[in-house]
Structure 1
Amino acid sequence: MDYSQFIAGEFRQGTSRSRISVINPANGMPLGDFAGASAADVEDAVRAAEGAFRSWRKTSVAERAAMLRRAGGLMRERSVVLARQISLELGKPLAEAHKEVGTAAEMFEWASEEARRLYGRTIPARAEGVTQTVVWEPIGPVAAFAGWNAPAITPARKISGALAAGCTIVIKPSEETAGVALLMARILQDAGFPEGVVNMVFGDPAEIADMLCAAPQITMVTFTGATSIGKSIGSKAALTMKRALLELGGHAPVVVCEDVDIDRVVKGAVAAKYRNAGQVCTSPTRFLVHRAVYREFSERFVRTAEALRVGEPFDEATQMGPLKNARRLDAIERIVRDAKDRGLDVATGGERIGARGYFFKPTVILQPSLDCDAAMIEPFGPIALISAFDTLDDAIEEANRLPFGLAAYGFTQHMGNAYRLANEIESGVVCINDWQASLPETPFGGHKDSGLGLEGGTEGVREFLRVKCVRQAVS
């Protein structure tokens, strides 16, 4: 893989003295090394996006839609190469990586269709000879920041939404999965997008964020990542009156009522929890189980988690790969150590696997105290917490206890319980009897400390648009 920057339609080496190393998490070995972006490189990317915006915003919707559709098709054609790069850089099992590529391609395809439906409206006037029209306009050049845990999906969601709306973009994908983003840049180039419409820079995250948030040419900032960093970026964007779209952390609760099919729920719960080694912002973490079925549920959950095959991402038998990096491994070990120091029941897992790579056992903590680290901090790893509740009021109170509200789940066959869970849990997404928290056509965003604004769906595309009211009278 040739690592580089992608600026003004050109794959070129950065001019910073700093070097970036991309690591294979399955063995801890480097996959590549390249120069980071300097301040001059970032400025070039911003200028390219600004220049391209003048013509891109005037490009017909039909042309934009055709390019987006071609991009989605090329992603499908090159899915083998893309999936392999995801598994190499992230450690995600190859089968999961193929699914991610399919979802990312669908985001471009869906955006190509939605671009045609960004309608305005006409407001009845108070006098004859007057028209009042509401027009949606592209907001302008966008700065975007994407994390490493969904290296195809997150950039695809931001890029496709911005381009469908008529915006240009400077995106800083994660340096740790740079190869995946650069393969996507090549696809966008081959799909016919003009130079400067999409630019990718890699380098010092804080420096690049400061530059993009301060750049007067940038009109909007979209960020996916940790809550603390998102708040910082949002405050920097506010200083220059930029719109901020922030998709931040979570700590997803799962309410399991006494009337469920335990086998079915446990099977889905374990698959959802340990997908991508739990490194998913919507990952179900706090399992709140009615006391009547708590013992049976927790025993089956532990057995199913213990049976998961953890291994190399290219092994067809692997169900869970490694954590992404040493920082994640250290964070998970600290959380488990805190639980053990408090005398909590670590029913399974809680240990690193081997000394090569960043593998960790699927872990379950039973009846965690509310003040332990695992119950307060988003694990972003293979840790599940299982607690018992007596009344639905108790479960809803616990589901809403933390200052996060990104995704939540509820399982019940009782219509009244389902209604309460859907309406009383404070979360941007609530899934009832289902684990799918996000699709290309559905809006996705958090409440409280989990973010501002929406990605996906019509609502997500409209985040990249601004409203203009035009009132015209006959002269």
Structure 2
Amino acid sequence: MFEKSTKIIFIDGKWKEVDDGKGVAVYNPATLEPITEVADGGSRVTEEAIQAASKAFPGWSELTGRERSRILYKAYELMSEDAERLGEILTTEQGKPLKEGIGEVKGAANFLLWYSEEASRGYGEWIPSSIKSKRMLVIPQPVGVVGAITPWNFPSSMITRKIGPALAAGCTVVLKPAPETPLSAIEIVKIFERAGMPEGVINLVTGDAQEIGNAMLKSKEVRLLTFTGSTAVGKYLMQESAEHVKKLSLELGGHAPSVVFEDADIDKATSLVLASKFRNNGQTCICTNRLYVHESIADQFTAMLTEKVSQLKIGSGFEEGVELGPLINEQASEKVHSHLRDAVGKGAQVVLGGAEWEGNLEGYFYKPTVLTDISDDMLIMNEETFDPIIPVQTFSDETEVLQKANDTDYGLAAYIFTENTNRAIRASEKLEYGIVGVNDVFPAVAEAPFGGIKQSGNGKEGGHYGMEEFLEMKFVSIGIG
């Protein structure tokens, strides 16, 4: 599927080898076998990419929205047609089950479809004047060069969710994918190349994350940074971007609570909680991290959830029926162990799992785990978890559980399970999160805004709000005689 080495970057419409010839190995997380090598780009290469994007900006931004739309729509078509092959690449470098990988690619293509339509809808405003001799206009204009830094857990959809609206708005892009999953990014750039994207509009640099990121921060030409990743890195980007007062769009960490009320449909709620927690092996920023179940249904709910979790199949993402692939790396595995040790040491009971999977693969696999007797002081109730452990805590009072759900610096996503409409609306309004799912654990769609509050970031991705991040509103005041 892959060449032995793909030590190339994409700058100004050309695939180029990095001069020093160094490469960064990409591994299959299920087997820990090397797949290929990609270019080890650094600050010099990044600056070259920024200059190419800057040079291309006037021509791209001056096209009509409809002209940009045609290229985005062609890229959508090409990506959709090639979804199975792209899904195989994604699964190979990221580890998630192939069905999930193909689904992610199709979802990623949908962002290109949505923003191909939004490209023609960058509306401004005519402001009624209070002065007879004055006319006032608000004109939306693209920000300029965008630095896009994407994560490994969704290596296709996180790219199109960022560069789709940026390109639709008229911005040019320098893309830096996660070092663990650069191959999906390479294929997406090739799709845009085939779709007829002008030279320099999209540029790709792989390699050292800190060196590439710092080059983006130091450059005056990069007017906006869009980043998905940890809150710690997001804070660093905020500090360092102050020198040039860059715009920032940050989708950071999450610690999502799921609250199951006593009137919930237990069968439906257990299935949805399972789908939320164990999608991508728990390695998602919006998956259920803390599960609160009303005490009157806790035993029944936990028993049913545990039975469903016990049926999850672990293994290579290419194996038929596999629902849980590997953790991404050793660091992720160590975090699982630390969370489990801490919880058990503070009194948690392991109902299911609680150990590494002893299969025939070398990757970092962990059994899906259900814990009960959970206390608020446990790490797993306070730190973002990227693993297949679900802690079940009981509650008796609605006000109390919503306070617990809000008692965190994170504010990305939260979930409610109830059949009571009044409660659903009341709790949704009280939860301090940018996204609330009511009997729904898959809120991320192209047409709706996605983003957190508090220390889970700022800005929105998706919907017409997503394109607004990449636009500046210019006020034009006209005096008339």
The two structures have a TM-score, normalised by structure 2, of 0.97
Give the letter for the 1:38 counterpart: G
Following superposition of structure 1 onto structure 2, how do residues 44-55 of structure 1 map, counting pairs within 5 Å? 44-55=48-59
- Indicate whether 1:409 and 2:415 are aligned: yes
Give the letter for the 2:157 counterpart: I
- 2:295 corresponds, among 282, 285, 291, to 291
1:220 and 1:35 mapped to 2: Cα distance?
24
Please list the CA deviations of residues 175-213 of structure 1 after superposition, one character each: whole Å capped at 9, or x if unmatched.
111110000000011111111101111111111111101
1:348 and 1:15 mapped to 2: Cα distance?
52
SS at match of 1:331: helix
The answer (yes or no) to whether the contact 1:16–1:37 under 8 Å persists in 2 is: no
Distance apart, 1:338 and its partner CA? 1.6
Q: CA RMSD in A?
A: 1.2
- 2:179 corresponds, among 156, 175, 181, to 175
- Indicate whether 1:152 and 2:156 are aligned: yes
Following superposition of structure 1 onto structure 2, how do residues 37-186 of structure 1 map, counting pairs within 5 Å? 37-186=41-190
Counterpart for residue 302 of structure 1: 306
Distance apart, 1:130 and its partner CA? 3.0
Where does structure 1 lack aligned partners over 5 or more consecutive residues?
A: none
1:383 and 1:9 mapped to 2: Cα distance?
44
Please list the CA deviations of residues 122-146 of structure 1 after superposition, one character each: whole Å capped at 9, or x if unmatched.
0112344532111100010011110
- 1:444 corresponds, among 450, 456, 469, to 450
- 1:14 corresponds, among 15, 18, 33, to 18
- 2:381 corresponds, among 371, 375, 378, to 375
2:236 and 2:349 mapped to 1: Cα distance?
36
1:271 and 1:433 mapped to 2: Cα distance?
12
Where does structure 2 lack aligned partners over 5 or more consecutive residues?
A: none
- 1:203 corresponds, among 186, 191, 207, to 207
1:261 and 1:149 mapped to 2: Cα distance?
31
2:93 and 2:38 mapped to 1: Cα distance?
15
The answer (yes or no) to whether the contact 2:275–2:441 under 8 Å persists in 1 is: no
Give the letter for the 1:237 counterpart: S
Counterpart for residue 249 of structure 1: 253
1:289 and 1:82 mapped to 2: Cα distance?
39
SS at match of 1:442: coil
The answer (yes or no) to whether the contact 1:15–1:41 under 8 Å persists in 2 is: no
- 1:214 corresponds, among 204, 207, 218, to 218
1:294 and 1:344 mapped to 2: Cα distance?
15
Counterpart for residue 459 of structure 2: 453
Counterpart for residue 391 of structure 2: 385
SS at match of 1:439: coil
Distance apart, 1:35 and its partner CA? 3.2
Counterpart for residue 322 of structure 2: 318
SS at match of 2:296: helix
Please list the CA deviations of residues 38-97 of structure 1 after superposition, one character each: whole Å capped at 9, or x if unmatched.
322111100000000011100111110010000110001111210000110011101111
2:130 and 2:298 mapped to 1: Cα distance?
64
The answer (yes or no) to whether the contact 1:234–1:246 under 8 Å persists in 2 is: no
Distance apart, 1:335 and its partner CA? 1.1
- Indicate whether 1:366 and 2:410 are aligned: no
2:13 and 2:345 mapped to 1: Cα distance?
54
SS at match of 1:32: strand
- 2:435 corresponds, among 422, 429, 448, to 429
Distance apart, 1:435 and its partner CA? 1.2
2:272 and 2:13 mapped to 1: Cα distance?
43
Please list the CA deviations of residues 11-36 of structure 1 after superposition, one character each: whole Å capped at 9, or x if unmatched.
22223565311110110111012330
2:124 and 2:39 mapped to 1: Cα distance?
45
1:117 and 1:35 mapped to 2: Cα distance?
37
- Indicate whether 1:262 and 2:266 are aligned: yes
The answer (yes or no) to whether the contact 1:339–1:346 under 8 Å persists in 2 is: no
The size of the alignment, in residue pairs, is: 475
Please list the CA deviations of residues 258-299 of structure 1 after superposition, one character each: whole Å capped at 9, or x if unmatched.
011101110121122101001111001211111000111111
Counterpart for residue 228 of structure 1: 232
2:372 and 2:18 mapped to 1: Cα distance?
49
* 337-346 or 213-222: bigger deviation: 337-346
* 333-342 or 201-210: bigger deviation: 333-342
1:81 and 1:393 mapped to 2: Cα distance?
49
1:464 and 1:167 mapped to 2: Cα distance?
7
